[in-house]
Amino acid sequence: MLTLVTGTTGQVGSRFVPRLLRQAQAGDQVRILVRDGSKASGLAELGAQVVIGDLRDDDALGKALAGVDAVVNIAAAFRGVSDEEAWAVNHDAALELGRASVASGVRRFVQVSTVVVYGTGRGRPLTEEDPTVPGGLMWGAYAESKAQAERALLSLENLDVRVGRLAFVYGEGDPHLAQSMMWAGDWAATQRLQMVHHADAAQGLLRLLHAPGAEGRVYNIADDTPVTAVDLHQLNRIDLPPALYDRTDPDPWLCITSTARIRRELGYRPLYPSVWTALDAGAL
């Protein structure tokens, strides 16, 4: 099987591709599409085929998709980009990639999404059956553009699309854990963030890629134990501000998800059930 992966120079993709290569069976190949070839040298040394080009370039897409059996679309634009750029990458380019995949005879398409698409909490862990109602100030158009991309891709004919919604990804040197303090410093003490270690994000995506009978399905990929604002301060070795305990959590179930479906249907079990487990294992 030849698998094309996009977004391989980002935090998720750069950690996913080496795992995909290590787990490859005889005859399996991995191809990556990157804009800057110098950033792909490490993955090329591991055995990835490299195509230089932009996701929004038709010629580059044609070269990247030639002979491909499956696509894993990790490419995303969110923090620090304009709303226009978020829509262009997260929705428009993703849909064009899906359409080009159909035209090229690709059989399977894994769309990497985010639990942020759910929007407000529901007073319980969010399930894949809950409607997506993205909104709020975090990362501008990111959530809505990803939600619309999911819907558009799942509606394509002649393409087996699966969607993985990732919780807040961390681990293996990823700066996201430290960056969480951009928000957690202003949270209530009990306010929670659900996370997923890169090893488990990769595990979930690999299960989506290879599982039979998962076409048209959406899966939450997360750990078992959301961390609180107090945890985040402690993990980042930051003194707890007294005001933390005077604030009220406006939405205690925001982005807190159930992983029952991926456990039941695909056999997923997090290697790192909590960020504290990863800390003990030296996997941060």
pLDDT confidence of residue 195:
98
Residues in Cβ contact with 174 at an 8 Å cutoff, skipping those fewer than 6 apart? 11, 15, 198
Q: Are 268 and 221 in contact (CB under 8 A)?
A: yes
121 vs 80, higher pLDDT: 121
Could you please report the per-residue DSSP string of 163-174? EEEE-EEE-TT-
* Percent of all residues in the chain with a pLDDT value above 70, rounded to a whole number: 98
Question: pLDDT for 74-103, tens place per residue?
Answer: 999 987 789 999 999 999 999 999 999 999
Question: pLDDT for 145-177, tens place per residue?
Answer: 999 999 999 999 999 999 999 999 999 999 999
Provide mean pLDDT across the span 174-196.
Answer: 96
CA distances from 120 to 78, 124, 126, 166, 180 (A): 19, 11, 10, 16, 19
pLDDT higher than 80, residue 140: no
pLDDT higher than 70, residue 270: yes
pLDDT confidence of residue 252:
96
Question: pLDDT for 29-65, tens place per residue?
Answer: 999 999 998 999 999 999 999 999 999 889 999 999 9
pLDDT confidence of residue 134:
74
What is the CATH topology of the domain spanning 2-171+195-223+258-271?
Rossmann fold (3.40.50)
Measured CA to CA, the distance from residue 205 to residue 217 in angstroms comes to 13
pLDDT higher than 80, residue 209: yes
The phi, psi pair for 55, rounded to 5°, reads -60, -25
pLDDT confidence of residue 118:
95
Q: Are 115 and 134 in contact (CB under 8 A)?
A: no
pLDDT higher than 70, residue 179: yes
Could you please report the per-residue DSSP string of 114-144? EGGGGBS--SS-B-TTSPPB--SSTTTTHHH
| Burial class, 269, CB count within 10 angstroms (exposed 0-12 / middle 13-18 / buried 19+) | exposed
Residues in Cβ contact with 241 at an 8 Å cutoff, skipping those fewer than 6 apart? 185
Q: How confident is the model at residue 271 (pLDDT cuts 50, 70, 90)?
A: very high
pLDDT higher than 70, residue 130: yes
Q: Which helix (H) or strand (E) holds 21?
A: helix 13-22
pLDDT higher than 80, residue 136: no
CA nearest 208: which of 166, 165, 162, 169?
162
